[in-house]
Chains A and B, each alone.
Chain A
Amino acid sequence: MHVTKEFKKKTFLKQFLLGLHVSNSISNPISIQQRKNSIKLSADLAMAFARGRTHWTHALITKLGQKEENKSTLKGILGRRYEILMARYSCPLLYQKVQRRKKSVRSYRFSYNAQKRRSSALKGSCVRVSPSVVARNLENRRTKVLKRLVPGGELLNGSALLSEALDYVISLKAQVDMMKSLWRATQVSSSSNVELVPSAPLQKKDASCTIANSEE
């Protein structure tokens, strides 16, 4: 939203391919799960880098950096900047805040149950909850789920959460599109077998497909 998508795609691609190279070189003998994880890591990192500085990118990079299994890949991708970035993005404060919030959620649920109990005690067996309460409850549940989905969402509220979710959805869409096009490129290069003619840009993919075919 704040940054043009054209710019983002370039940066994303560059960073993603960087990460792919690194994950190729590092984790070649290891299982496909780990390769998938490192690819996903580099994709998320690329998306966060391409987007710029927003709340969710900050939280995403923090989360990525705190997992133990990611650290080697991150070191490979970021190189010398790893220490700088990890120092900046290690924020224990984030998770302390989350702990505090959990208590209030529990208390809310308790109060809601108390209200239900009260209403059922008054009116007999059937539980009558006013529609506004139902609507509010639904909305709160959805908001909680959204907070869990959006990186860094637990700390946000209301309109800020929605704007971060908006931004995140846009970036996710762009990420998926880029990965799809990359995937299609690999498909094309691995399946086609066209003769090389050096003048058109279309033929450049044939260069890569000869590479692929030569090793088969």
Chain B
Amino acid sequence: MEDEIQPLLNPTTASASPSVATSGASFTALLGLPPNRAVELLHEPTFPSDPALVDRAARFSVFAAAAAASSAPSPEVSPPPPPPETAKKRKDGASTNGKAKVKKGKHAEEDTDGENKLPYVHVRARRGQATDSHSLAERARREKINARMKLLQELVPGCSKISGTALVLDEIINHVQYLQRQVEYLSMRLAAVNPRIDFSGLDTFLSATTMECGRLTIGNAKVGTELDQQQQQPVWSEVGVSDSDQMNSTTNSKRPQIQLQQNQLQQFWHVDFLNTQNHLQPSVWERDTVMGSTAPHVQREEQHSLVGPGPVPLLAFDRVNPVAPPIQSNQQLKMEL
């Protein structure tokens, strides 16, 4: 037995049969995984070299007809990068005869994730378990599900102590329902308070407190020609309504409100989205894509609208150097409902 194992220990790269090479490489690739994951899969706290040896020997016995020399990796744990390989499902039936201590690991997903679109899933059966392809695939699926459940357990508070899938699912369901109820409750409260608050002031508040460059862009904001800085005459700017030329006029008559800070905030968003444009997923969803096209105009003058190249002209701002004037003009405003 030992003299069979010895040649396997000699690392040879030349005449490696692909199956043995892959199995060897994948095993140490398993060891190269994050330790907890690999441990969970192997159910073994240490990584002795013996399993590697034993595995090589097992394969040697199974693939006796194959090339004798194998590129068995050195017994120490050195994870090679998973080479592009043709992994195969392996029947370990023959190998269990000779080896009493065969500990096998299973790494269905991690190995295949490192490769590019292999047709086969390289898995190994645990000791004493069925090795046919169906149960292997099922085990792979179960491992995936268990990994997700672990993540969910970490996310939902108070779930890490619970053991068992059904109870954890229970907690997750409760948490989702709780969050949804909170959304309803908060929207109800916001609805109750909504008519009293004009959200323009809130924009600047939130932007100034949450984003550091808010001050800068507010400094660059411009006040429109229609609106004198100290003037009491507010003009409603339709921020988001694009088809609203008529809406502009109606709300002008109904509820004249200052949108000064709102537009400042828009401008801020213009500038900021310039920076985040590369991080944005290219999607038609957000108005940023439209905004991004108008971003170069930010510093200049009018026509910065979230709608972009739309027919709605918003306020144009003049240069406002200190932050004080907008606040003072806000002071003088009356908000009508």
Residues of A at under 8 Å CB distance from B? 3-4, 7, 9-11, 13-15, 17-25, 28, 32, 35-37, 39-40, 43-44, 49, 52-53, 76-77, 79-81, 84-85, 135, 138-139, 142-143, 145-146, 149-150, 158-159, 162-163, 165-166, 168-170, 172-173, 175-176, 179-183, 185-187, 189-190, 196, 198-199, 201-212, 214-216
Chain B 284-311 per-residue mask, 1 if CB under 8 angstroms from chain A, else 0: 1111100000000000000000110010
From residue A65, how far is it (CB to closest CB) to chain B in Å?
13
Could you tell me which residues of chain B, from 198 to 229, have a CB within 8 Å of some CB in chain A? 198-206, 208-211, 214-215
A18 to chain B, nearest CB (A): 4
**Which residues does B use to contact A, with CB under 8 Å?**
141, 144-145, 147-149, 151-152, 155-156, 165-166, 169-170, 172-173, 175-177, 179-180, 182-184, 186-206, 208-211, 214-215, 239-244, 247, 251, 255, 261, 269, 272, 276, 279-281, 283-288, 306-307, 310, 322-324, 326-328, 330-331, 333-337
**Chain B nearest CB: distance from A66 CB in Å?**
18
B194 touches A162 (CB 8 A): no
A176 contact from B186, B280, B337, Cβ within 8 A = B186
Minimum Cβ distance to chain A for residue B281 (Å): 5
**Are B288 and A11 in contact, with the CB atoms below 8 A?**
yes
Question: Across the interface, do B336 and A10 meet the contact criterion of CB distance under 8 Å?
Answer: no
Residues of chain B within 8 A of A36, CB atoms compared: 184, 187-188, 190-191
> In chain B, what residue has the closest Cβ to A185?
B202
- A35 and B183 in contact, given A139-B169, A211-B333 (Cβ under 8 angstroms): no
7 tightest A-B CB contacts, nearest first: A208-B201, A79-B242, A198-B324, A162-B148, A142-B169, A201-B208, A18-B240
| Contact among A142, A172, A190, A196 with B180 in the assembled complex (CB-CB below 8 Å) | A172
Contacts of B242 in A (CB 8 A): 79-80
Q: Which of A9, A18, A44, A176 contacts B182 (CB 8 A)?
A: A176
Q: Report Cα–Cα, A174/B204, bound state, in Å.
A: 20
Q: Are A39 and B191 in contact (CB under 8 A)?
A: yes
Q: Is the CB of A25 within 8 A of B176?
A: no
The residue in chain B whose Cβ has the minimal distance to the Cβ of A138 is B166
Q: Select B183's contact among A10, A179, A187, beta carbons within 8 Å.
A: A179
* B151 A139 Cβ-Cβ under 8 A: no
Residues of A within 8 A of B183 (CB): 40, 43-44, 172, 175-176, 179
